[in-house]
Structure 1
């Protein structure tokens, strides 16, 4: 939902401080267990409507210099040898001028796992000839054999080399030693207060409040004598670091953050791990319940860790693993102020939380170094403003198999295609609550509300007031649907634009979005002339809506 333009990394020195490389291109969404031999079957419609556009956006905005090809195959062709994707689409259609690098095993797997070629020499030749310029592994050392046997020529290799070298020139790698302006930046700058506050802000703004019965949150620190912090993720940096991470000068866990604030208010903090993510052991349940009974408020921090969501690993359930749910049920039964924080990189679905509706519920992804941001949210020094980046289904029965890449097969994949009547989600894409109260004080206005030209500038406007007790941010999301659409390949609904706005207490603001119908993806295939419905809310809930009529004869 966001990207940084590459120009932003150049700063004042004219060379890139960071070379953005995104992986994996393309259609590498699982299964991860067996990925070295998996073949994703994808229709051209799904490629063009769903899987390719986000990559094209990155390239059009010059947001990346490099791309890593995928591990699995697409429509029978290994990704590291897929000329259609790496050359025809990426270079010829989109004019991508950067380089493509393979992951560390896929070039060998062209021959070993997919049996797409008879020899490794042929595999490296077809990979580089298809537009895969650099090999993370060691197979490209066989290129001299491939040349000798006539499988590839020097012009092809020179082209690949030039693409790789270009990125090194762009980053100043070949400038005279001592002239790189970034090499003299001390660690004290990298680890500065300004940067620490930025990481804290990122964490704070990404936390999603899913439910908050009886305004359990924020906890009033001035009325608390003791807080019990329970759960396997409360004091565990593995749910902060996950895989492929740097190491900060200091890790601040959720427990650390809570203790830091509690100390200032003379509040006692007690902690135990309570339940395991890895097994169903209840050995610490009695201790966790004892601490909960003694405390004024209770926080459970759990979810997943890298062992559930790392390479070669697929989940077979959306439920909380180990003994976490059973312990949570026991704590809910105490009828005390209780909040649950789920930390995971993918959906956790426990309808019990929603049906019981006796605990506040928050979700966030693996969050890096700044657990103090979580404490600020819990005690109301910051206000949740995050929105779900995915749909949380009720259970796995609402999901297509992981190896089925079809978007519109019933009940539909992602919020764009999901039939909410057939598979009502536990929480929809874009969902997120606030401690404050935002009220729409006007209808959603569309001007003009009737057009006869697809290039007409359309402006939507709505007025919102923050009537709650907090200064807070709010994400305004604009969705659309083509009424009476008969093209089953196209999405049912889609997020068109969004913005996050800060509101002071009692502040009223007017928010506008501007767009053209011609620029809506695939509008040239939709029911036009016709009616388009727009709404403000999330992918399911419509807080304000209006229609636009397209009539070429008006």
Structure 2
């Protein structure tokens, strides 16, 4: 046989064998009957190094030759599926925590996941593989809200590790479903770890946290969600710990996560966190993207939010990491996608059968309403609430009374039918009392607020508030309007949605539309008024949003911009109008959205001359029997890495915790009318409401309460719902009680270590009825370390109305450093009719009875303890307690 024949035979054997092997690998990975690990091995074995690296960025491209579709790991579901069209909007996470109702939160998360599946299934049918339409949900945020100045604290479940862990487990297990084979969605607790501000420094901040604080406060909730909640994903944080970025930390990602907690899922970075390794404004940890990507993957970060892992091929070539090490991370990602059923026939995955009609249903809205009602905390009541039949004229006043942002919060779903507080109150009091609304003030000096309905009319002689809106199904205002209505104000969020969107799947992603608003605007007083237009949010959007404004027939402003790669809100544009009279001026606003999926929305805003809004509010109060003052904060002031620099606010965080002076002045002016003032605080964090505690007739905290927030607030004010929410955070009396914001030590922070007198304590909340506690019984009063303990207490409704009560159980350890003063170790929300009693049982595991020493070692230790049960923290004359003696010592795993 000649040499040429031998070569041909060799080539045939080699390439024929390779082809056969590839065919076998393809048949294996596509075969649902094969073990997932075997399928994943077969799939990954067919990829090039460059393909592998691309699959490890959050926006993973398709690989057509292998039949792998594109997939984006980035989806948001903090309190509703966000940025992907209309969905059910639940209260902001801090409000969810204020329910102290873990079973309810589990149900909420189940609805969020159901709607995510409904959207994903329809998106796949429409060949859409976009960001925000996936099934890997980057929630919940279980960072400890250690300081009320942190702007993102609103996204958390508060300041307590135990409450956070129980609520977090409920949420995460609700997201992931209960199917033994497939995930409904995948939960991603974040940001691991020790991440809670300041926002302006988060890309470069290093935390030297003590071993005690790390194990006692910052990691327990993460441990619980991994070991008990079995979440399949986790997000590492921006900040560094002990000089190492969290997404490159062996201590976090190997020692804790993989070794101690036996985590089997995948780790994603926060967005751009790997870039922070080498950027000029980051940690200066790596010289370039190749070294950064290698460091992250070697530590255990499996996917990057961003494009950094495209640097992995170069890292392999430079010997910084091996291809088998890359494969480890890549395989975790494909295991997750297979456990979601993304590569199996839809007929095999019952979650894949969920229709789009399961999204944003009336039943889901009812659950949002129930959750909002449960989240409201009654902080003070001199008897004015619930509102009495003798109240016939009510003044609703304040910047949060008619603000869409103030019911949405951040990382929010897009509500299709949001109920603002003033509208909820008007509906609740219809036929019973006259409601007068005035904006009253801005949030803080220098900040614009939506132009209120009180200065807008659809026709010159009309008494109706608002502007005539004509909605067109194209961006050119052409043809007849598809919808005509009167909008009370121009304040809309249509992110990936449309005001013309229907309920069937053909309108799933209605992208092009335009709106013309016409009518008249009347200034409350002559003067120069600053106006602006705020556009919606977008991420990597390529849409054209254009708007123009005419006053008295003259165009006073126009804008047409193309926005790319900007995920924050588009900046507001500012212009000044000289309204020389209070008479009506013809107003026309035109807005068009086209050529893009994300980012639609518009708010027509203003900043009136000082004192004008307050004067109008005082007039309304003087002619009323009672004032409902809606004050507080806004997600346009507190939030993630924001471009805000105003008195008391910087970069999304706060520089002090007081209610802004402009709103203080409003409250004092309203009180001077002599009318009772009920203050409704809406915020994502604690506010020092000292004036309200001393002078208001009542004070409630309503958070950012979701799409049914206005209705829920009205239900509480009128007594249709008896409030029982509890504070998940401490309300401090002033900044002087707080350590420096950049100090991550827990000394004198949160109720567990704070030695001062708070304005309102963690766990505090009132009701329209009274509850009593009795008969606290322990399974033993002398416990051997390492054993479990059971506590039972009787709760009785001593009042005249039915209501919920939150029974709280605290463990008070021997008072020695570094032990906490007390720790929440159990809670349960119960409903009781007047005169009814129930027995509440708490099961305490050895871990709940343990403490962490200065070296970070957790153990159950000998000593004299107290167990307390009541409706709030231990206080003299409240609740019941029992002594507990623990003998011996029992070490617990990390």
Question: Do these two structures clear the TM 0.5 threshold for a shared fold by scoring above it?
Answer: yes
Q: CA deviation at 1:309?
A: 1.6
Q: Contact 2:861 / 2:887 at 8 angstroms: preserved in 1?
A: no
Q: CA deviation at 1:324?
A: 0.9
Match of 1:297 in 2: 626
1:429 counterpart = 2:758: no
Match of 2:311 in 1: 142
Which residue of the other structure, out of 450, 466, 482, is the alignment partner of 2:797?
Answer: 466
1:369 counterpart = 2:703: no
Q: In 2, distance between residues paired with 1:529 and 1:138?
A: 53
Q: Which 10-residue stretch deviates more, 80-89 or 227-236?
A: 80-89
Q: In 2, distance between residues paired with 1:187 and 1:250?
A: 18
Q: In 2, distance between residues paired with 1:56 and 1:518?
A: 12
1:393 counterpart = 2:739: no
Q: In 2, distance between residues paired with 1:501 and 1:546?
A: 22
Task: Map 1:262-341; keep pairs closer than 5 Å.
Answer: 262-263=429-430, 265-279=431-445, 281-312=610-641, 313-341=652-680
CA shift digits 1:328-362 (9 cap, x unpaired):
11212233232111111111012122233x32001
Which residue of the other structure, out of 223, 244, 253, is the alignment partner of 2:390?
Answer: 223
Q: Contact 1:480 / 1:535 at 8 angstroms: preserved in 2?
A: no
CA shift digits 1:399-445 (9 cap, x unpaired):
1111111112xxx11111111xxx211111000000111123x3433
Match of 1:415 in 2: 751
Which residue of the other structure, out of 218, 221, 224, is the alignment partner of 1:51?
Answer: 218
Match of 2:378 in 1: 209
Match of 1:514 in 2: 843
Partner of 2:654, secondary structure, is: coil
Q: Flag the 1:204–1:321 CA change in 2: closer, same or farther, 3 A.
A: same
Match of 1:546 in 2: 882
Which residue of the other structure, out of 677, 684, 687, is the alignment partner of 1:348?
Answer: 687
Q: Flag the 1:54–1:521 CA change in 2: closer, same or farther, 3 A.
A: farther
Q: Flag the 1:230–1:385 CA change in 2: closer, same or farther, 3 A.
A: same
1:446 counterpart = 2:778: yes
Q: In 1, distance between residues paired with 2:353 and 2:662?
A: 50
1:89 counterpart = 2:256: yes
Match of 2:697 in 1: 359
Q: Flag the 1:128–1:527 CA change in 2: closer, same or farther, 3 A.
A: closer
Match of 1:478 in 2: 809
How large is the RMSD of aligned CA atoms in angstroms? 2.1
Q: In 2, distance between residues paired with 1:155 and 1:532?
A: 54
CA shift digits 1:14-63 (9 cap, x unpaired):
42222111211101111111211111110112111111111000011134
Q: Contact 1:537 / 1:544 at 8 angstroms: preserved in 2?
A: no
Partner of 1:323, secondary structure, is: helix
CA shift digits 1:292-320 (9 cap, x unpaired):
11112211112111132211221001111
Q: In 1, distance between residues paired with 2:286 and 2:444?
A: 41
Q: Contact 1:480 / 1:494 at 8 angstroms: preserved in 2?
A: yes
Match of 1:532 in 2: 866
Q: Contact 2:761 / 2:873 at 8 angstroms: preserved in 1?
A: yes
Q: Flag the 1:11–1:145 CA change in 2: closer, same or farther, 3 A.
A: same
Q: Contact 2:864 / 2:883 at 8 angstroms: preserved in 1?
A: no
Q: Flag the 1:243–1:464 CA change in 2: closer, same or farther, 3 A.
A: closer
Match of 2:206 in 1: 39
1:492 counterpart = 2:821: yes
Q: In 2, distance between residues paired with 1:115 and 1:346?
A: 33
Q: CA deviation at 1:188?
A: 3.7
Q: Which 10-residue stretch deviates more, 118-127 or 183-192?
A: 183-192
Match of 1:259 in 2: 426
Q: In 1, distance between residues paired with 2:297 and 2:206?
A: 20
Partner of 2:399, secondary structure, is: coil
Q: Which 10-residue stretch deviates more, 253-262 or 386-395?
A: 253-262
Q: In 2, distance between residues paired with 1:515 and 1:91?
A: 26
CA shift digits 1:69-97 (9 cap, x unpaired):
10111111111211221122101110111
Partner of 1:512, secondary structure, is: strand
Q: CA deviation at 1:194?
A: 1.7
Q: CA deviation at 1:479?
A: 0.6
Partner of 1:143, secondary structure, is: helix
Q: CA deviation at 1:532?
A: 3.3
Q: CA deviation at 1:491?
A: 1.5
- In the alignment of these two chains, the number of paired residues is 538
Q: In 2, distance between residues paired with 1:68 and 1:86?
A: 10
Q: Which 10-residue stretch deviates more, 505-514 or 4-13?
A: 4-13
Q: Contact 1:227 / 1:270 at 8 angstroms: preserved in 2?
A: yes
Partner of 1:444, secondary structure, is: strand
Q: Contact 2:657 / 2:735 at 8 angstroms: preserved in 1?
A: yes
Match of 2:403 in 1: 236
Q: In 1, distance between residues paired with 2:745 and 2:780?
A: 37
CA shift digits 1:489-519 (9 cap, x unpaired):
2212100101001001121222232335564
Unaligned runs of 5+ in 1: none
Q: CA deviation at 1:99?
A: 0.8
CA shift digits 1:147-193 (9 cap, x unpaired):
11111111111111111112211111112367654455344432222
Q: In 2, distance between residues paired with 1:381 and 1:217?
A: 11
Partner of 1:22, secondary structure, is: coil
Q: In 2, distance between residues paired with 1:266 and 1:530?
A: 57
Q: Flag the 1:227–1:46 CA change in 2: closer, same or farther, 3 A.
A: same
Unaligned runs of 5+ in 2: 1-162, 447-609, 642-651, 853-857, 889-894
Q: Contact 1:240 / 1:369 at 8 angstroms: preserved in 2?
A: yes
Q: Contact 1:475 / 1:500 at 8 angstroms: preserved in 2?
A: yes
Q: Contact 1:275 / 1:322 at 8 angstroms: preserved in 2?
A: no
Q: In 1, distance between residues paired with 2:734 and 2:226?
A: 36
CA shift digits 1:81-131 (9 cap, x unpaired):
112211221011101111111122111110112111222210111011111
1:159 counterpart = 2:367: no
Q: Contact 1:15 / 1:170 at 8 angstroms: preserved in 2?
A: yes
Match of 1:62 in 2: 229
Give the TM-score normalised by structure 2: 0.58
